[in-house]
Structure 1
Amino acid sequence: MYVKGSLEKCIRIAVLCQSEALVQQTVCHQYLKGAKKLRPDLGRFTLAIDGPAGAGKSTIAKCLAQNLRCTYIDTGAMYRTVGLFCIQNNIDYTNEDAVNSVLSQIGIDIIYEDNAQKIYLNGVDVSTAIRTQEVAAAASKVATYKEVREALVDMQRKLAATKSVVMDGRDIGTVVLPQATLKIFLTASAEERANRRLLEYEAKGMEVAYDVLLKEIQERDDQDANREVSPLKKADDGIEIDTTSLSIEEIIERIAHLLQERL
């Protein structure tokens, strides 16, 4: 039987592959080098997702990691943990020297339970405690300190050294994983990002004014873009996706296709 696109005198094996990482509607032949594209979740890769606050990085990264059956690393949670330690121990997190002096006392462990990342501070689960506005403000500040970033970047690279990961943050594609398989830069209007944050807080039963959130996001954008150490910017070989009018499913599908092309 002749099939268009096939090679003559080849032994054919039909394989059914069900993978949420692969979006394909037609049947085609795959030979040696192309066969691995059928399962991008099986070949080791690093997917870097950067972007400003509220752009949807964590939501998208978590979904992609689940679909691709790989490890999700939330780097922002690490900076929040440093900020939380400072708050709990009355350390002035606006004082860089004060924060640097206690770095050796901060033990951060990332553990995966039930396909979810949990973060521990000196043996205590702080996965929920770090998700407050106060901690977010502290994280934003300590993230500008060189020694803090160097310590956490080293940890992040070690986590990605031996397995496939989806890692999100603000300098993943530019600093942490400059050789990442795929670099994505997610963005959205400040107004849309503020509205998303508002919905997140409301879902948690927290009352926060939209205007306050919008101002915080605008200030965070300015701080992230203009900080001296690892400023927020798209990698030269990164792909920017404006998520303002896109659904989560549309974003995930687009990134999955891009990753598939690189494997």
Structure 2
Amino acid sequence: MVTIAVDGPSGSGKSSVSKAVAARLGLAYLDTGAMYRAATLWCVRTGVPLEDAAAVAAAVRSMPLVMGVDPAAPGVTLDGEDVAAAIRTTDVTAAVSQVATNLEVRDELRRRQREIIAGEGDSGFSGGRGIVAEGRDITTVVAPDADARVLLTASEEARLRRRSLEVHGTADATSVEATRDQVLRRDRDDSTVSTFHVAADGVVTVDSSELDLEQTVAAVLTVVERAAV
């Protein structure tokens, strides 16, 4: 069973590239960032104050979350409800770093992520050919022994432009500026508990600043092929 780990900052293309790589190779796909978003939504819906770190951690430990691992339709189910769209709202996006920087929450979700990658979690994934896992600190903490480890990066300008297109459907100056806080603040906050800007030993950096999606996917597939040699 092959494991491919992909790290990187916001807007670097981790999700799109990882899903495409998983689909090309016939592998499962895990979006670990969606787990932190789901945890945030769970706390908000159950009335847990996000500033109460202990209460947030307790809520997340009991959170009934099931992660889908089909790269074509990676669902997120929370307490029996499909929340794939709900976790992408601006309210969740604005609050997720407060949950993601909670160290006890990170410990719990990392534990669940490792279980899913090993085919032991509540995702319906039982191993198969393998999995592509992407998010923060996947290459260094969650899956440091992955068969291929990639740090996917891009320039600040490219990341802001991509996130603007994703959120606003345009990359004009006003829309790009509107995404600046969402992208850069989250990276700044998350970097206090996770390293995802510099590749660790054995991790291959792929800079997608001047690459389109297909070119970036090809670059990551090359890393995977070389790791298998």
1:258 equivalent in structure 2: 223
Q: Aligned partners of 1:68 and 1:152: how far apart in 2? A: 26
1:232 equivalent in structure 2: 196
The 3-state SS of whatever aligns with 1:130 is: helix
| Structure 2 CA distance for partners of 1:257 and 1:120, relative to 1, 3 Å | same
Alpha-carbon shift at residue 111 of structure 1 (Å): 3.0
- Residues 108, 119 of structure 1: 8 Å contact kept: yes
Percent identity of the aligned residues?
Answer: 36
Alpha-carbon shift at residue 112 of structure 1 (Å): 4.7
> Structure 1 length as normaliser, TM-score?
0.76
Alpha-carbon shift at residue 141 of structure 1 (Å): 1.6
Q: Aligned partners of 1:108 and 1:235: how far apart in 2? A: 30
The 3-state SS of whatever aligns with 1:127 is: coil
The 3-state SS of whatever aligns with 2:163 is: helix
Q: Aligned partners of 2:144 and 2:54: how far apart in 1? A: 29
Alpha-carbon shift at residue 114 of structure 1 (Å): 8.4
- Residues 47, 182 of structure 1: 8 Å contact kept: yes
| Structure 2 CA distance for partners of 1:192 and 1:113, relative to 1, 3 Å | closer
Structure 2 regions of 5+ residues with no counterpart?
120-126
Greater mean alpha carbon deviation, residues 96-105 or residues 67-76: 96-105
2:167 equivalent in structure 1: 201
Which of 211, 221, 225 does residue 177 from structure 2 map onto?
Answer: 211
- Residues 189, 244 of structure 1: 8 Å contact kept: yes
Structure 1 regions of 5+ residues with no counterpart?
1-43
2:143 equivalent in structure 1: 177
Q: Deviations over 1:203-249 (max 9, x none)?
A: 49xxx842131133222222222x1x333342221111111110111
Alpha-carbon shift at residue 116 of structure 1 (Å): 1.5
Greater mean alpha carbon deviation, residues 110-119 or residues 178-187: 110-119
Q: Where is the helix percentage greater, Structure 1 or Structure 2?
A: 2
Q: Deviations over 1:170-211 (max 9, x none)?
A: 11000000001111111112222111111112349xxx8421
Alpha-carbon shift at residue 120 of structure 1 (Å): 0.7
Alpha-carbon shift at residue 55 of structure 1 (Å): 0.5
- Residues 8, 196 of structure 2: 8 Å contact kept: yes
Q: Aligned partners of 2:151 and 2:72: how far apart in 1? A: 24
The 3-state SS of whatever aligns with 1:116 is: coil
Q: Aligned partners of 1:87 and 1:203: how far apart in 2? A: 28
Q: Deviations over 1:55-85 (max 9, x none)?
A: 0000000000000001000000000000111
* Residues matched between the structures, number: 215
Which of 220, 240, 261 does residue 186 from structure 2 map onto?
Answer: 220
> Structure 2 length as normaliser, TM-score?
0.87
Which of 206, 211, 220 does residue 241 from structure 1 map onto?
Answer: 206
When Rg is computed on C-alpha atoms for both structures, the one with the higher figure is 1
1:1-263 mapped onto 2 (5 Å cutoff)? 44-112=1-69, 115-162=72-119, 163=127, 164-203=130-169, 209-225=175-191, 227=192, 229-233=193-197, 234-263=199-228
